[in-house]
Amino acid sequence: MLRPVHCVVPFKSSGCKTRLSSALSGEQRWQLAVAMLRDVLRTLRSIGMVTVLARPGMREDIIADLDATLRFSELELGDALNGFIDENTAAGWPADILIVMADLPLIREEDVLEMIRTPGGVVLAPGRGGGTNMILIRDSRFRTRYKGLSFAKHKREAEELGIEAGYCYSYRAGCDIDEPGDLIEILLHTNGESRALLERFGLRILESDGRGRLDQTQSNE
Amino acid sequence: MLRPVHCVVPFKSSGCKTRLSSALSGEQRWQLAVAMLRDVLRTLRSIGMVTVLARPGMREDIIADLDATLRFSELELGDALNGFIDENTAAGWPADILIVMADLPLIREEDVLEMIRTPGGVVLAPGRGGGTNMILIRDSRFRTRYKGLSFAKHKREAEELGIEAGYCYSYRAGCDIDEPGDLIEILLHTNGESRALLERFGLRILESDGRGRLDQTQSNE
């Protein structure tokens, strides 16, 4: 039997995804951030309770149809997540906590299930470039360290606490969308709202010199 | 019972890995290419027969201890591979063919086994950015199309031939090492010759502005 899981998805609603600015306008980046969040929430629906940790001011209606609880916090990502873990601990740990980044439009239910089936007091799913894109916390002593290159820090945190860490290496969970080159992954390997949006923006993959690059045809936005 | 598999690893021995030139000298890039090939061959040892397809002139001794057959070809990557498939077909298909790129130092035996356990007349493992980092060929009609963004082409090739395609999404198999940013993956997620070499080059991960970058301390090369 799998233990109950409470999914937590932190979402930054302002100044988001600035590293995509050479490919997308501010309004387009915001729309993509929302579409990616919605793709992630749709995947998590079957897994357990889902809470979105957002900054005050985010419009609730953008995810109203996706069975997630919206919760506002002024805190930085790491502090907001650790506050959530504190509360879960104080409440007697009713469910394990699965932290999932909001910019993982490639993930599928099978990726999340693989995470949940991996043993360990904490399970880490690396992101490309040294990040941690999902964390499953079963041991209430663990706290996140989401500043900078977090994968090595989370590994060390588990070691220092004597918590056995499991690792879940997943292509799709490893693909956080930060830079223009990452958008190709959405076009090639997904079929949800994020991809539909990029196609609506007129983005498509062109080949030049045997390498792929993004091309933007006349947008109808 | 798993069917017998013949692994084929194409290796380019000249002008290799030029996109790493901002981080590594020509001699260092060559040493890294060899170390990555050796890491891959060590992983494939337990899987089945292994043939390295190389350009004429490559020194045989660099992989002499790793149970692989070295085979020379003047042909381009795709043509050399397709010639190999032709011969396997003419010989009555004694083993399925598993093509594995030589720049995948992260792969482990479990990743290759997952590939072999995936059903399909052909099984494709995508690389980040649209490439195909491993292909398992069980249907003798399939031929590779390794120019450019090959993943979509290989998918289409299977469709056109009416071959059922399987997909193997793997974090580690998806990490081909092409650009300086990819070297972080070797330092974080491997423990073989490639990593030892990068450490010998004095490469290490530094954090600045909350993001990782490579730093090269005085090299003892």
Cα dihedral A101, A105, A108, A114 sign: negative
Residue B128's contacts (CB-CB under 8 Å, 6 or more residues apart) are A128, A175, A185, B174, B175, B176
For A173-194, give the secondary structure using H, E and C: HHCCCCCHHHHHHHHHHCCCHH
How many angstroms away from the CA of A64 is the closest CA of chain B? Answer: 31
CA distances in angstroms from A112 to A106, A137, A186, listed in the order given: 11, 13, 18
Average pLDDT estimate for A112-130: 97
B120 torsion bin: left (phi>0), alpha (psi -120 to 50), beta (else)? left
Range in A116-130, A136-150, A154-168, B10-24 the model is least confident about: B10-24
Q: Read off the pLDDT of residues B35-81 as tens digits, 9 standing for 90 and up.
A: 999 999 999 999 999 999 999 888 889 999 999 999 999 998 899 99
How many angstroms away from the CA of B50 is the closest CA of chain A? Answer: 25
Task: Classify residue B20: in a domain, yes or no.
Answer: yes
Which residues on A lie below 8 Å from B128 (Cβ)? 128, 175, 185
Does the distance separating the beta carbons of A169 and B189 come in below 8 Å? yes
Rounded to whole angstroms, the Cα distance separating B95 from B146 reads: 22
Which one of A126, A170, A171 has the shortest CB-CB distance to B189? A126
For B61, the domain range is 5-176
Cα dihedral A135, A110, A169, A147 sign: negative
- Supply the pLDDT for residue A210: 62
Taking a C-beta distance cutoff of 8 angstroms, is the pair A148, A76 a contact?
no
Q: Which residues 178-207 of A have a C-beta within 8 angstroms of B? A: 181, 184-185, 188-189, 205, 207
- Reply yes or no on whether the pLDDT at B211 is more than 70: no
Which one of B126, B130, B173 has the shortest CB-CB distance to A212? B130
- Reply yes or no on whether the pLDDT at A218 is more than 60: no
How many angstroms away from the CA of A140 is the closest CA of chain B? Answer: 26
A152 touches chain B (CB under 8 A): yes
Task: Classify residue B142: in a domain, yes or no.
Answer: yes
Strands B131-137 and A69-72: unpaired
Average pLDDT estimate for A195-215: 83
How many angstroms away from the CA of B113 is the closest CA of chain A? Answer: 15
CA distances in angstroms from A94 to A120, A138, A140, A180, B35, listed in the order given: 18, 11, 11, 40, 48
- Supply the pLDDT for residue A1: 64
Find the closest chain B residue to A183 by CA distance: B129
Find the closest chain B residue to A171 by CA distance: B171
Rounded to whole angstroms, the Cα distance separating A24 from A7 reads: 29
Rounded to whole angstroms, the Cα distance separating B23 from A141 reads: 40
- Reply yes or no on whether the pLDDT at B219 is more than 70: no
Q: Read off the pLDDT of residues A47-96 as tens digits, 9 standing for 90 and up.
A: 999 999 999 888 889 999 999 999 999 998 899 999 999 999 999 999 99
Does the distance separating the beta carbons of B128 and A128 come in below 8 Å? yes
Task: Classify residue A101: in a domain, yes or no.
Answer: yes
Taking a C-beta distance cutoff of 8 angstroms, is the pair A23, A55 a contact?
no
B170 touches chain A (CB under 8 A): yes
Find the closest chain A residue to B108 by CA distance: A169
- Reply yes or no on whether the pLDDT at A209 is more than 60: yes
Does the distance separating the beta carbons of B148 and A188 come in below 8 Å? no
Which one of A171, A188, A189 has the shortest CB-CB distance to B171? A171
Average pLDDT estimate for B157-178: 98
Which residues on B lie below 8 Å from A129 (Cβ)? 181, 184-185, 211-212
Q: Compute the C-alpha angle B25/A175/A28, nearest 5°.
A: 110
- Supply the pLDDT for residue A13: 75
B127 touches chain A (CB under 8 A): no
Q: Compute the C-alpha angle B137/B182/B133, nearest 5°.
A: 5
Kindly report the CATH number assigned to the domain that includes residue B17: 3.90.550.10
Structure tokens belonging to residue B87? 């011969």
A71 touches chain B (CB under 8 A): no
- Supply the pLDDT for residue A36: 98
Compare A59 and B5 and report the one with higher pLDDT.
B5
Is A53 exposed, middle or buried (CB count within 10 Å of its CB: 0-12, 13-18, 19+)? buried
Task: Classify residue A189: in a domain, yes or no.
Answer: yes
Closest to A187 in 3D by CA, of B151, B49, B53, B43: B151
Rounded to whole angstroms, the Cα distance separating B26 from A79 reads: 45
How many angstroms away from the CA of A149 is the closest CA of chain B? Answer: 6
A170 touches chain B (CB under 8 A): yes
- Reply yes or no on whether the pLDDT at B34 is more than 90: yes
Q: Read off the pLDDT of residues B90-147 as tens digits, 9 standing for 90 and up.
A: 999 999 999 999 999 999 999 999 999 999 999 999 999 999 999 999 999 999 999 8
Which one of B174, B188, B211 has the shortest CB-CB distance to A148? B211
Phi, psi dihedrals of residue A135, rounded to the nearest 5°: -135, 125
Q: Which amino acid is at A204?
A: R
Average pLDDT estimate for B162-179: 97
Q: Read off the pLDDT of residues B176-202 as tens digits, 9 standing for 90 and up.
A: 999 999 999 999 999 999 999 999 999
Work out how many domains chain B is built from and give that number: 1
ipTM: 0.93
Task: Classify residue B218: in a domain, yes or no.
Answer: no
Task: Classify residue A221: in a domain, yes or no.
Answer: no
- Supply the pLDDT for residue A211: 64
Average pLDDT estimate for B1-12: 91
Rounded to whole angstroms, the Cα distance separating B6 from B217 reads: 41
Contacts 24+ apart (CB under 8 A), A26-32: A27/A221, A28/A201, A28/A221, A31/A197, A32/A177, A32/A194, A32/A197, A32/A198
Average pLDDT estimate for A155-175: 98
Does the distance separating the beta carbons of B126 and A151 come in below 8 Å? no
Which one of B126, B151, B184 has the shortest CB-CB distance to A129? B184
- Reply yes or no on whether the pLDDT at B221 is more than 50: no
Residue B157 belongs to what H/E stretch? helix B150-161
Q: Read off the pLDDT of residues A183-202 as tens digits, 9 standing for 90 and up.
A: 999 999 999 999 999 999 99
Task: Classify residue A36: in a domain, yes or no.
Answer: yes
- Supply the pLDDT for residue B220: 45
Task: Classify residue B183: in a domain, yes or no.
Answer: no
